[in-house]
Chain A
Amino acid sequence: MSGEVSAGPAPQDRQRHEGGSSEGVSALRAVANKWIGRSVTRLEDPPLVRGRGRFAADISFVHQLHMRIVRAQHAHGKIASIDTSAARALPGVIAVWTAADIAEVPPIDFREGRIPAFEPYRQPVLATEQVRYVGEPLAAVFAEDPYLAEDAVDLVSFDIEEMPVLLAAEAEPGEFSPGRSTEVSVIRQGYGDVDAVLRSAPIVVDLEVSIGRHSGVPLEGRGAIARYDAARDILELHGAAKVPHRNRDLLARMLKLAPSSIHVHESHVGGGFGIRGELYPEDFLVCVAAMRFNRPVKWIEDRREHLIAANHSRQQLHHLRAAVDNEGRILAIDDRYFHDQGAYVRTHAARVVHMTAGILPGPYRVPAYRAVGHFRLTNKTPAATYRAPGRYETTFVRERLIDAIATRLGLEPNEVRRRNAIAAHEMPYHRPLEALGEEIEHDSGDYVGLLDKLLAALDWDKRKAELARRRAVGEAVGAGFAMFVEKSGLGPADGVRIEVDGSGMVELVTGGASLGQGFETVMAQVCAEVLGTDYRRVRVIHGQTDRIAYGIGAHASRATVMTASATHNGAVKLRAKAIEAAAALMQARPDALEIVDGKVLRKAEPAGPSISLGELAEHLAPTSKTLGGREPGLCAEGWFRVKHQVYPYGIHFAVVKVDRETGGVAVEDYVIAYDIGRAINPALVKGQIVGGFAQGLGGALLEEFTYNERGDPLATTFADYLMPTTREIPEVHVILREDFTSPLNPLGIKGAGESGITGVGAAIASAIDDAIGMPGAVTQLPVTPQRLKEILNRSVSSPPRSRAAS
């Protein structure tokens, strides 16, 4: 069952046709140009599998300095003094900076521009008067080698007057600074008269659920290497990927430089997940130091730093009340939640807490809705986006609600889903809520239809009976579902420039970015298919701000939707230009020509004369005699703009087995059904989904940034921050559907980057409830053995009930 793509023109079929000779030359030729929908091998792999990739730590410049950060060891306190003299005296140490040394650099601003209300809560590059979390940068050491830099850090002493710590967002807010509360703001979204509906509803379901603090932990930690090239008056920053142009603009704003004088370069990336590639204190420090010392400056994060200094995510507590009718139809949802932002508001500002409110209703009709989100600071590492921000959290909350309604009414959870899901004929479905600054409009889909397909693929009735049989003989096994709507393809625009050189090689320059997801391959597939060449003849340049002026990068499952659409549009123009030029040279009508495998030829005469794209590029050179009145160059720009994001959807299914004695949970089976609209490369989509699942499993069962009562982080190594390994991850079956192509872009694409993670916490929680026969038992993620054991001990007094078998 794994990785199948069904409905629509199945890519496997296209591949199968490729070898067929019986269908004649024209069919073969059509297949030769077919790259979209095929699981072709990745263009980016050859250097990676040969150990010749270039990750942040691989980037070095002659004469470079190494930076090391002195980090706060107290969760909250006043900085009485910092003594750097002993560190500065160490031979090989060039400088040790504290906040006073970079007084001209303002606190780190928001990526999308100024937000005056949040400004007081921004993080200074180096702590000024107070420290607010363990790990906060206090000072920076610059030395000739990284060992020396670390030795020098040991010699920096500081005197911190400890202050009381605030560690829970749901606790009474404290004072951030005189007269300023730790509650940064209260986010409100909603519609309808929720109070009236709650008053008159026959049933009101109450829920209190929480999601643990965890985050994206990429294999490659952060890194920042800056170099100021005085000869060109250019400041270069290497290391951060994801949003190079946005980062350039933010750097320019904060360092008071012209954007064009900063070049941000993306290299290979060992995972991004939303947290890597944002601008952090270290990025500013290396830039300022590179200019001040006139030497390149390199900083490579270590794992311990990563776990306390890079963005955390996810921690929320929801108090939710839902009004429901006697048939299980949701009439209203009233959600009050507490978002633990950690110590400062970082580059993302209120993105996660805001999206949480917008996205919570997900696939269901919710006639009246109110979400009130308390955006609060605590003395922990600052938080921001992590793969499926707001969706992992709200899918857990919302699907716990579905289960609770099912239990209350004695219905199957999937029946509750059917009764509430937005129907296919209601598309596009508009909801007066916002996500990422856009009004939500579900573009297309059939949620119940996908559920039916999943149930059929699972042979659900048989499986359900089998699980019941196993439970009857004492095994604690159970199954759970989670339905969700993703959002993807964040606009508003993306552009590419495509140019063919004299060898016929195509260069595609984009402001998109790669986080290792196969971006180059996918763009090359789209470009090659539209243009009519081999995808291996397309070189994709991304994440280089000196090559293209505009770009929004890779996040929010946007890259394939936005950049591939721009690529499509650019390739259409390029193709037209090639055909037009070739028509003149070949004395043919443009519509009698086509481009196959990089050659323009007559449709009627495929074996006849042809002209290659490389030759055409030479004909179109500025000095060419055959250029005529045309704009020189075989090149084109393609742009794509959207008003709304795309809303793909999916369902997760989990089977778990609980060890009642230890509280251990093993995932026996996991299936993800997902409608992607159109899969450019099904194998890569599957990779995204399976990888996302693994991370979701971490958040469901293992990963948690824990703190003691003093605010000391406890999960600062991989011995305490537990990530799932191959031994904990079951094989994931992906049912990839192309049922509803998106009407919002030329290829019908929906994003896929986050769909594997979104429903994991929800589905596993539901399966655990089912396994132990205690509906609604799981209210907190991650479900650690100790927490589950406590739940099970509670049940010793009240014997297990079975929920209406779903």
Chain B
Amino acid sequence: MKPARFRYHAPKTIEEAVDTLAEVAGEDGRVLAGGQSLVPIMAFRLARPAHLVDINGVEGLRRLSVEGERLCIGACVRHAAFHTPVVDGPLGRLLATVVRHIAHYPIRTRGTFCGSIAHADPSAEWCLVATALGAEMVARRAASTRTIPAQDFFRGIMTTALEEDELLIEVRLPILPADTRFGFYEFNRRAGDFALGMALVAFRLQGGVIREPRVALGGIESQPRRIAEAEQLLAGRAAERAAFEAAAAAVASVVDPLEDAVTSATYRRDLSVTVTRRALERAAA
């Protein structure tokens, strides 16, 4: 449980950070953010980066602000920042609801929103949020910056569209309209564990009818995903149990659940029904 030897870099600016990353990326240089995923795997020597580029001292990555219709979350913003709503309206409340399901408080004071996105655990809550809401990931390398929409960003278990020399400098979430309702439901074996299955749903209610439904599942498949079949079933229907059950059934019929030595695909498929329906019920409540 002692990491292999590595060189430690502590840039002070974004430019320095991406320059350093450009230099060391070829030798398995990695970004160190909160370290709550990276350090444990280094201790197990499952990861042996030759260089660590520690971004914690980069002032320019701490920003958390609203720009136009977007909430911009810089790479050094910790999970714990979301405990109290960071913006008025449903988005702030949604983030404050979800954050309490991520690990335990001490971990939330170190781990970062962007680190979670870059790490891309299939059961990570922020990845589900990013997928459900259609986040944009801003990736910067020495010479250029690009914006990657959520649907193109996640590429399977712990795999993303980020290149080795790219720094995820911020994630942008759309500000949700004031009449947006959301519901989140997660099932895990213990409080604070990664989800065995979770659903995040959001919709607007207009005259008792569901508009712009978003139904996204996490922890069930190799990456979080919006389930179009369920959304189509909900759009234009009353926010009632029958609609929710139909949507949940639709989810179960299309998901391709992960399977491991301890948890079967059948169990995860069953769970997808429950978490979807319960998330919808919470949204309607």
Which A residues are within 8 Å of any B CB, using their own CB?
146-147, 150-151, 154, 302-304, 661-664, 702, 706, 708, 714, 717, 719-720, 722, 724-725, 727-728, 784-786, 789
Contacts and interface: CB of A to CB of B under 8 A. Distances in A.
A304 B44 contact: yes
A785 B271 CA distance: 10
Interface of B: 1-2, 4-5, 40, 44-45, 187, 189-194, 196, 261-264, 267, 270-271, 273-274
A147 B5 CA distance: 9
A154 B5 CA distance: 12
25 contacts: A146-B2, A147-B5, A154-B4, A154-B45, A302-B1, A304-B1, A661-B270, A661-B273, A662-B187, A662-B271, A664-B187, A717-B40, A724-B190, A725-B190, A725-B191, A727-B191, A728-B190, A784-B262, A785-B187, A785-B189, A786-B262, A786-B263, A786-B264, A786-B267, A789-B267
B196 A785 contact: yes
Given A150-B45, A722-B189, A784-B262, 4 more contacts: A154-B45, A661-B270, A661-B273, A785-B189
B279 to A, nearest CB: 13
B135 to A, nearest CB: 26
Contacts of B271: 662
Contacts, number: 59
B161 to A, nearest CB: 26
Contacts of B189: 664, 702, 722, 784-785
A663 B40 CA distance: 30
Contacts of B40: 717
Nearest to A786: B267
Nearest to B4: A151
Contacts of A702: 189-190
A714 B193 contact: no
Nearest to B273: A661
Nearest to A712: B261
A247 B110 CA distance: 43
Given A714-B262, A722-B189, A662 B274 contact: yes
A302 B3 CA distance: 13
Given A303-B1, A662-B274, A708 B190 contact: no
A302 B40 CA distance: 13
Contacts of A728: 190-191
Contacts of B45: 150, 154
B193 A151 contact: no
Contacts of A663: 267
B2 A150 contact: yes
Contacts of A722: 189-190, 193
A69 B267 CA distance: 38
A154 B44 CA distance: 12
B190 A727 contact: yes
A725 B5 contact: no
A87 to B, nearest CB: 14
Contacts of A725: 190-192
Contacts of B4: 151, 154
- 9 closest Cβ pairs, A-B complex: A727-B191, A302-B1, A661-B274, A786-B267, A150-B2, A147-B2, A662-B187, A708-B261, A714-B261
Nearest to B264: A786
A703 B270 CA distance: 23
Contact of B5 (A151, A662, A706, A786): A151
Contacts of B2: 146-147, 150
B257 to A, nearest CB: 12
Contacts of A150: 1-2, 45
A727 B192 contact: yes
Contacts of B187: 662, 664, 785
A682 B271 CA distance: 45
Nearest to B194: A719
Contacts of A714: 261-262
B277 to A, nearest CB: 9
Contacts of B190: 702, 722, 724-725, 727-728
Contacts of A708: 261
Nearest to A305: B1
Contacts of A662: 187, 271, 274
A724 B139 CA distance: 39
Contacts of A724: 190
A725 B1 CA distance: 23
Contacts of A154: 4, 45
Contacts of B196: 785
A782 B198 CA distance: 23
Contacts of A303: 1
Contacts of B270: 661, 789
B4, B5, B44, B190 interface centre (most CB from chain A within 10 Å): B190
Nearest to B270: A789
B151 to A, nearest CB: 29
A374 B1 CA distance: 37
A9 to B, nearest CB: 42
A167 to B, nearest CB: 12
A708 to B, nearest CB: 5
B40, B191, B267 interface centre (most CB from chain A within 10 Å): B267
A717, A724, A786 interface centre (most CB from chain B within 10 Å): A786
B249 to A, nearest CB: 13
A720 B5 CA distance: 27
Contacts of A727: 190-192
A642 to B, nearest CB: 42
A701 to B, nearest CB: 8
A310 to B, nearest CB: 15
A628 B42 CA distance: 71
B32 to A, nearest CB: 18
B171 to A, nearest CB: 25
A366 to B, nearest CB: 37
B136 to A, nearest CB: 31
A706 B262 contact: yes
A714 B262 CA distance: 9
A784 B193 CA distance: 15
A126 to B, nearest CB: 21
Contacts of B273: 661
B44 to A, nearest CB: 7
A750 B202 CA distance: 59
A391 B1 CA distance: 35
A336 to B, nearest CB: 29
A460 to B, nearest CB: 30
